[in-house]
Structure 1
Amino acid sequence: MKLFHLLLLMLLLILHKPIWILASSNIAASSPGVAVEGEQHQMDSHMKMIIALAIVSTSLGAVLLCVLCFWIYHSKFPSKPSKKNIQSSDAEKGLSLAPFLSKFRSVKMVGKKGCVPIIDYKQIEKATGNFKESNILGEGGFGCVYKASLDDNLDVAVKKMHCENHFAEREYENEVNLLSKIQHPNVIALLGCSSNEDTRFIVYELMQNGSLETQLHGPSHGSSLTWHMRMKIALDTSRGLKYLHEHCYPQVIHRDLKSSNILLDANFNAKLSDFGLAITDGSQNKNNIKLSGTLGYVAPEYLLDGKLTDKSDVYAFGVVLLELLLGRKPVEKLAPAQCQSIVTWAMPQLTDRSKLPNIVDPVIRNTMDPKHLYQVAAVAVLCVQPEPCYRPLIADVLHSLIPLVPVELGGTLRVSQVTRQVLPADPPENSSQ
């Protein structure tokens, strides 16, 4: 409203200026001692000035009036950001991949798949040492991931996919298509792709610390992951999921979130990977898609009824959070024909403050603030609720984790140094209240 009043005042001042000039000229004309010819000449010049100023002030007034109308319209009807623009801007970000690879002269590109560079297969073969076994970084459903050196200064990861059937081919196409449109600090970066007969290759940025699964359940058994580092990984993962759920259009549901698909770079920054099973809301009928996923991470409603929503990813995130907290695998064998999920085993103890400290991963036991431990356990319990409607949105999970992560690791917790507050080995019974 202040802007409206200011513009209106300016408009009135401009439109009334010729009247002031005319009045001043009349006063000058009535003064004694002025010659008649000079008076006539002065009146003519004043009239011309008045006409010119009237034209200019009217034009300026019209312009200001148009600006005023435009401002009033947009203040009442603010323009909404087009969701289509989000998609197109993501696609434009994908175009930056080709210039990135072009910096390395030794990288031979033979074409493009959409906006994704196609790298010469022979170069990929050479870069992986002819797919040497010692270069294997991990293994998936349709093949292995290899470490490759495309250039002296460019180490990458190459996923080799055997696409003899249409399921594998569809996963390849789906992953390349989605990752070409996504660029986020907590989502793996796609650098290129390639093919050779029935084999497909996807080239990613190299994640030096491998997968979260390897860190937690491999030879080191989580010894490199402190409590704060684990909370940072959980926070990074939730940020990546929030981007997929709330900032991508159409919404992206990962559908195969698990610790082996959370990769860690040299600084233990976590990034989501493996988008072969991901779906976009609206791209297909989610209730009629083939049941896919990994045992232990699949949400109950998807497993039983085929219902798939963003809350399915939240359930899988809850399982990952339990892995970080307890150091256990999502499914463990009790006997040759019996298995037990981490959710079934942990749920009764997660809500009991007298039992919770004793089931925490021994590597981090007694290294965190007890209040923070109870908070994380409460978040995990909510995420793995059987009913999707009781699970939080990933944005709510994100906001609950931020205060638990030190500032230097991406959160808001301010600590001069990592303090260790020892949990009591056997808390009093009334401490659970």
Structure 2
Amino acid sequence: MRHKFPRWSLSALLVLLLVPVQAAVENITFTTSSSNSSTVKIQFPNGTVTQIGGGNSTRVFTLQKNWTIDHVLTLPSNPSNITLSGVGIRSLAPDLASDATGGSVAVVYLDLSVNKIKSIDSVHFASKMIYLNMSYNAIERIGTVNPRWQNDSPGNSLSSLYLDHNAIVSLQGAIFPDSLPTLYLSFNRLESIDNASFPIGLTNLMLDNNPISSIRTVKFPSALATLSLMNNNLTTFNADLLPPSITTLCLTGNPLTTVYASEGQFTVLNHLANPKRTQLGANNSCDSIFSTNLSTAACPNSYKLLWNAFPICIVAPPTPSPSPTSESSHNQTTISIIIAVACAVVVALALIYYCRRYSDKDLRKDVVPNDIRFDPLFKEHRIPMKELETESVIAAGGFGIVYRATYRPSGETVAMKQLLPEKTHDTYAVEVFFQEIRLVSLLRHPNIVNFVGIAFTNLNNVTLVTELLPRGDLWTWLDRDPRQFSWTGGVENPIRGATVSKLQIVIDVLSALSYLHDLQPLLLHRDLKARNILLTETWVAKLTDFGTSRAYSEGDATMTAEIGTIPWIAPEVLRGDRYNEKADIYSFGVLLSEMDTCVVPYSHLLPVDCTNAGLDATRLHIVQSVAAGKLRPEFDPECPEWLLKIARDCLAFDAKTRPSAIDLCAEFQRIQASLRIDTRIEEP
């Protein structure tokens, strides 16, 4: 019998909505009150118009039965979270800020993704909305995004606008709210952005996977911090178009040959904060800036090496316009003074408004899509930050840091996981962390680390609280004393009085993996290795670190930037092919090698005292060899034959021939019984 597990995505974890056909309505849930409307008015493809509503008190609008909706006439007034994703919507009424009775709509998160909507031009949305998702629709022209937001009225709070995966061919005439901080325009048909007028408050702009071939005259906002242009058709790039505020620039996946910059702008480039800025990156990674070697052939004069790695052509700064005549100069000076005074007044008024608006330290000032802090489903799991006493750092990685802490009310020792401070401003990293929290909160298995709750006071310290496993991770034990464990024996369990073997730990891992692969939809761990296996006081092994995990549906999985460490990744994933749960089985085969040799896989191939370039070349060779099936992890000469056979099956190049987790678990249990190894008594 398969476990029931909600089908989810990063953009819609709160509301689960499956709507292939028109059907009767049942189990509709959203807020109602005596004074406000609690109905949504919709129109079907056959022209029928209906209202649907309910009487339960909640902040989430949930549709549990199948629908095909042609036109949305009104939205309910009270729910803060509304999802109408994948229901075939073709058009929207011009006023979605008012409910069926004319009252105001209070929606904060509105998800209209995966529909057939062709236009949102001049559609009036709720003024208090923080998040609007229009991804995966058929929009060709943007027009005016909510006229009610254009004057940046006190009610305007839109933080994220998703227009990715549409059919937008031009940004000419597009009008956005001036204070919009995050705009997604990836996966469209944009060939140029020179005619765009971006909002002055924009800080994050995503333009990945468009056919943009040149950027010549675009004016980026002065506050822009992140610009992502991955996987476009740019052959040259002029860094002088960037504002001094830029901190992250993503140009991987472009056929770049030349980058130009003035002396001053070269300094701006030199201060970029991409994590792997000196390395050539993959096409889907924003860690690096470039994915091709740059040339100096087109440099008009001289060039400078950026971080001693990338040649940048140094050019003269933009030439100012010719001096006007005396009279026009006088007029120009007068106009400039007027403009300067006006700008100063506007800035002063904006600062006064900002301070008043945020004087109550409103948590919503920094909001990301699917912000877990405002998810009503997590309200009961919230732990006040003052009830957690941080003690020491347990572990740290590329994205997060884990602390040992005490939960004061009970005295229980727990683990606190947070993003690294420098990652809290990375929208993508925050979204992935929120995804991990949601996922861990849903998993229930004795061999998976237990979820305790979440804690925060603001976006910068959102914390995942889990049980603390006192013996730490498996790799630390294997590395500390390789002789401590064997496949059939090992350390004494001080509490139960039994011997703990590598074989028993493997069975624990497979039990957890079988559970994940048996969920509906099944879940891929995607980062299975000894460091992500923790041990309890009685040596029970538990899986942790679900930061790269994802639900799997057939046909949708290809390699993404966040997948786990290279040596454990299956060949089909490294090649960018479609993959399924058998990729986890390959990683399990590598784990068997890691446990058998107590050595990091392929570490013997890395040169000693080599340059970064040499290390990168070796790593690339390892990736290419594994992807081609020419390289596999090694095993100890004294490795048991039965283990070698299972490992070879798990490491098969053809994923279809690899065994399932549940079959592996049964096989290892059979071997354990045949060897008459003492099994550990389960923890109470």
Aligned residue for 1:256, secondary structure, equals: coil
Could you tell me how far 1:322 is from its partner in structure 2?
A: 1.0
User: d(CA) in 2 for partners of 1:207 and 1:294?
Assistant: 23
Matched ranges for 1:393-432 at <5 A:
393-405=660-672, 413-414=675-676
Matched ranges for 1:32-111 at <5 A:
86-87=4-5
TM-score by length of 2: 0.38
Q: Which residue of 1 aligns with 2:393?
A: 136
Counterpart of 1:393, as a letter, is S
- C-alpha distance 258-379 of structure 1, shift in aligned 2 (>3 A): same
- Tell me which of 462, 484, 494 is aligned to 1:200: 462
Could you tell me how far 1:272 is from its partner in structure 2?
A: 0.8
Match status 1:304 vs 2:575? yes
- C-alpha distance 181-378 of structure 1, shift in aligned 2 (>3 A): same
Match status 1:155 vs 2:413? yes
Match status 1:231 vs 2:488? no
Return 5+ residue gaps in structure 2 as ranges.
7-12, 14-372, 490-500, 680-684
User: d(CA) in 2 for partners of 1:119 and 1:244?
Assistant: 27
Which protein has greater RCO, CA pairs closer than 8 Å, 6+ apart?
1
Q: Which residue of 2 aligns with 1:117?
A: 381
Larger radius of gyration: 1
Aligned residue for 2:405, secondary structure, equals: strand
Greater helix percent: which structure? 1
Match status 1:383 vs 2:647? no
User: d(CA) in 2 for partners of 1:416 and 1:143?
Assistant: 38
User: d(CA) in 2 for partners of 1:208 and 1:386?
Assistant: 37
Q: Which residue of 2 aligns with 1:286?
A: 557
- Tell me which of 420, 427, 448 is aligned to 1:187: 448
User: d(CA) in 2 for partners of 1:159 and 1:120?
Assistant: 15
Could you tell me how far 1:159 is from its partner in structure 2?
A: 0.8
Matched ranges for 1:310-389 at <5 A:
310-333=581-604, 334-335=606-607, 336=610, 337=615, 338=618, 356-357=637-638, 360=639, 373-389=640-656
CA contact (8 A) 2:534 2:543 kept: yes
Deviations 1:339-391 (A, max 9, x none): 669989995976xxxx831xx5xxxxxxxxxxxx2111111111112221221
Could you tell me how far 1:403 is from its partner in structure 2?
A: 2.3
CA contact (8 A) 1:211 1:262 kept: yes
User: d(CA) in 2 for partners of 1:112 and 1:120?
Assistant: 16
User: d(CA) in 2 for partners of 1:225 and 1:164?
Assistant: 45
Counterpart of 2:666, as a letter, is H
Could you tell me how far 1:111 is from its partner in structure 2?
A: 9.4
Deviations 1:31-53 (A, max 9, x none): xxxxxxxxxxxxxxxxxxxxxxx
User: d(CA) in 2 for partners of 1:222 and 1:346?
Assistant: 27
User: d(CA) in 1 for partners of 2:678 and 2:474?
Assistant: 28
Could you tell me how far 1:288 is from its partner in structure 2?
A: 6.8
Q: Which residue of 2 aligns with 1:166?
A: 427
Query: What is the percentage of aligned positions where both structures have the same residue?
Result: 27
Q: Which residue of 2 aligns with 1:263?
A: 534
CA contact (8 A) 2:383 2:453 kept: yes
CA contact (8 A) 1:207 1:264 kept: yes
User: d(CA) in 2 for partners of 1:274 and 1:349?
Assistant: 25
CA contact (8 A) 1:187 1:271 kept: yes
User: d(CA) in 1 for partners of 2:438 and 2:641?
Assistant: 40
Counterpart of 1:271, as a letter, is K
**What is the CA RMSD across the aligned residues, in angstroms?**
3.3
Deviations 1:391-427 (A, max 9, x none): 1111121111112336xxxxx753589xxxxxxxxxx
User: d(CA) in 1 for partners of 2:483 and 2:551?
Assistant: 34
Aligned length: 284
CA contact (8 A) 1:211 1:264 kept: yes
User: d(CA) in 1 for partners of 2:559 and 2:503?
Assistant: 36
